[in-house]
Chains A and B, each alone.
Chain A
Amino acid sequence: MRVVDSLEQALSNLWKKKLRTFLTTFGVVIGIGALVSMISFGQGVQYNVTDRFQKLDLFNYITVFPAGKQSPFSGERAGSSAESPRSVLDDDSLKEITALEGVESAFPEVRFPARIQFREKTRFSLVQVMPAAVAATELVKLRAGASFADDYSLSLIISDSLLTEMGITDPDSVIGEEITLLTLMLDLSRLNLSDMSSLFQNGKLPFSEQSHRFTIAGVAERMGFGGPTPLRSDVYIPSGTAADIPTISLTSIWDFFRSSGSADEYSMVNVKVDSPRAVDRVKAFAEEKGFQSFALIDQLEEIRTGFVFMDMFLAAVGMIALVVASLGIVNTMVMAILERTREIGIMKAVGAGDGDIRKIFLFEAGLIGLAGGVFGLCLGWIVTTAINWIINGILARQGIPFVDYFYFPRWLNMGSIVFSILVSLIAGLYPMQRAARVDPVVALRHD
């Protein structure tokens, strides 16, 4: 029996029982739809974390910070004893790090609070200093405009979420406009250490405000995920320009008390290396100097293991519907055999081999699987797109940027159809065997 003929036979048999075929296939559609939705969610999370990090080169970043300082990521306090002399992370160490083999650039994480004045609106925000070379990388996803021209330009990059907060929706409209940063600086002349209470009584804080004018060079998308990325602010200014702005670095209250006025000490240095191998070099250097370091790549294995477990769990949940659907296939096909016993008998009487009968039923199961796979995948797309819209719609109100929570890699699209056919064929094995074993003598007596 030729493949075309088996296919035609199977199709016409399925077509004869349209409702039943539809219902059985629909079961598979739901099963595959559930499965791909689950897996695409797992893939989406994975994509948003590792793949995106990889694309942004985040595995090539390492953060160095002074020992004893609370790690900004783990939350645990690294063991530093009071006796050991505290190493100072200053410009000298920055130079040493930059000189290490494989280090592309090292820039201190300098952030300071400022009031942003733009179009008669004022917002309080953290301003982060960033070398022009880093700002020009893919790390900064520009929605409009461009990065700073150089390290000394009087331009800045602002995040779209800050603009949204100010009620501005069109990022292109703000490019080239003037914006004012009001920074605080410690005014020691106002500080009367003998009477701290006066600080609070007359509202005379020991700070003075300075205003700096910038033009908006670009609007960047705010990273949906904070943590290990070197971008943690809404406003970025070039490093050269930043050096001329006297501020207090107030990323943590510890710095305020610890730094003891030393403007050169950094709370954190972001290091960009050219390959993950160089990460170890930077780590060794940091350890030798008594600094602590954090590299995302160290977490990668742990993250991956976590994802495998998550994927397995999601797939197991998704499989439930598919198992139920495959029982539906078995049921439908056994019914079909009962109905078609006489037909099978006739076919055998005129010379059909067991293999021919098997082929017809196997093709029927396979076709159900194919249709179930294709439409199940479509259902998965539709459902996940809808969920994605809803979630993003809700989160957008909280200023969280749009993220695709579901991701369909090519293997998932192809694999779900292949898997659907495979599961259906397995479900069709028993009915197929049963059909092939029909005794023609009995079948022809059958009414």
Chain B
Amino acid sequence: MFSSPLIETNDLGKVYSTGRIQVKALDGINLSVPKGAFLGIAGPSGSGKSTLMNLLGGLDTPTSGSIQVAGRMVSSLNHKELALYRRFQVGMIFQSFNIIPAYTAKENVALPLLFSGVPKRERLRRAEAVLSLVGLEERKDHRPSELSGGEQQRVAVARALINSPDILLADEPTGNLDSRTSQGILNLLQEMNRTQNLTVLLISHEGYLLKKYADDIIYLHDGRVRESEAVE
């Protein structure tokens, strides 16, 4: 099942310089994630989890090492290519949902299609289809303020999936949700992982959730991988 890895990082490093102080956020990360995996990433705050997510999501560029996704060297893409990579190859969801308050659920989900020049009617039609996939067809015309936290995060998931990416990066997606709602979201991710062979990378504080959903967990500490453990 796990043939050639979908994501491969080689000695990946990221150094932030603020004035004279240099902070090593990531230091020599070597990852190999096969297609269709559900990888959990754990670690205390400041361990570099989010930095790793941002690098894998193409929001940031590494200061050393490399990232390869589906055989492409993501770490050497230019601005324009990175935008396309973010648009088509990865979907990201965040702890704070990051959906646009002024847009309806449907409009938020359709947003990535806007930049590909898909006509409006087509955009909204596809957004509706994905919204029903995450169980929100009833709420498609509501604005974020009219939706619960769990619903907002489902909107974010739908938006992340609209361009059928290879990878879903979830950065503490349940951090703002109660445990029942959290499980609902993670069940959704698991379902996508199983039915659509979507590769999921999940960052979480909560070890029990990772243990429940992830096939494999890596622990980050001070920007390094401490150990990796397989889930039974």
Contacts and interface: CB of A to CB of B under 8 A. Distances in A.
Partners in one complex: yes
Contact of A351 (B54, B88, B96): B88
A350 B120 contact: no
Contact of A349 (B80, B92, B116, B117): B92
A4 B121 CA distance: 13
Interface in A313-368: 342-343, 345-356
| Ranked 3 nearest A-B pairs via Cβ | A351-B87, A353-B83, A350-B112
A348 B114 contact: no
Best-surrounded residue of B84, B92, B163 (most CB of chain A within 10 A): B92
B80 A348 contact: no
Given A16-B102, A350-B159, A1 B114 contact: yes
Contacts of A134: none
Contacts of B115: 1, 347, 350-353, 356
15 contacts: A1-B117, A5-B117, A16-B102, A346-B98, A348-B59, A349-B98, A350-B86, A350-B92, A350-B160, A351-B83, A351-B88, A352-B83, A352-B115, A354-B83, A356-B114
Nearest to A440: B59
Given A351-B83, A351-B88, A441 B54 contact: yes
Given A346-B99, A349-B57, A354-B79, 18 more contacts: A1-B115, A1-B117, A5-B117, A5-B120, A8-B120, A343-B100, A347-B111, A347-B115, A348-B59, A349-B86, A350-B112, A351-B83, A352-B114, A354-B80, A356-B115, A444-B94, A444-B96, A444-B98
A430 B23 CA distance: 32
B112 A353 contact: no
Interface residues of A, number: 25
Best-surrounded residue of A12, A16, A440 (most CB of chain B within 10 A): A440
A444 B156 CA distance: 14
A182 B54 CA distance: 103
Contacts of A348: 59, 83, 86
B59 A441 contact: yes
A350 B116 CA distance: 11
Interface of A: 1-2, 4-5, 8-9, 12, 16, 342-343, 345-356, 440-441, 444
Nearest to A2: B117
A353 B111 CA distance: 13
Given A16-B102, A346-B100, A351 B80 contact: no
Contacts of A5: 114, 117, 120
B19 interface: no
Best-surrounded residue of A2, A350, A355 (most CB of chain B within 10 A): A350
B178 interface: no
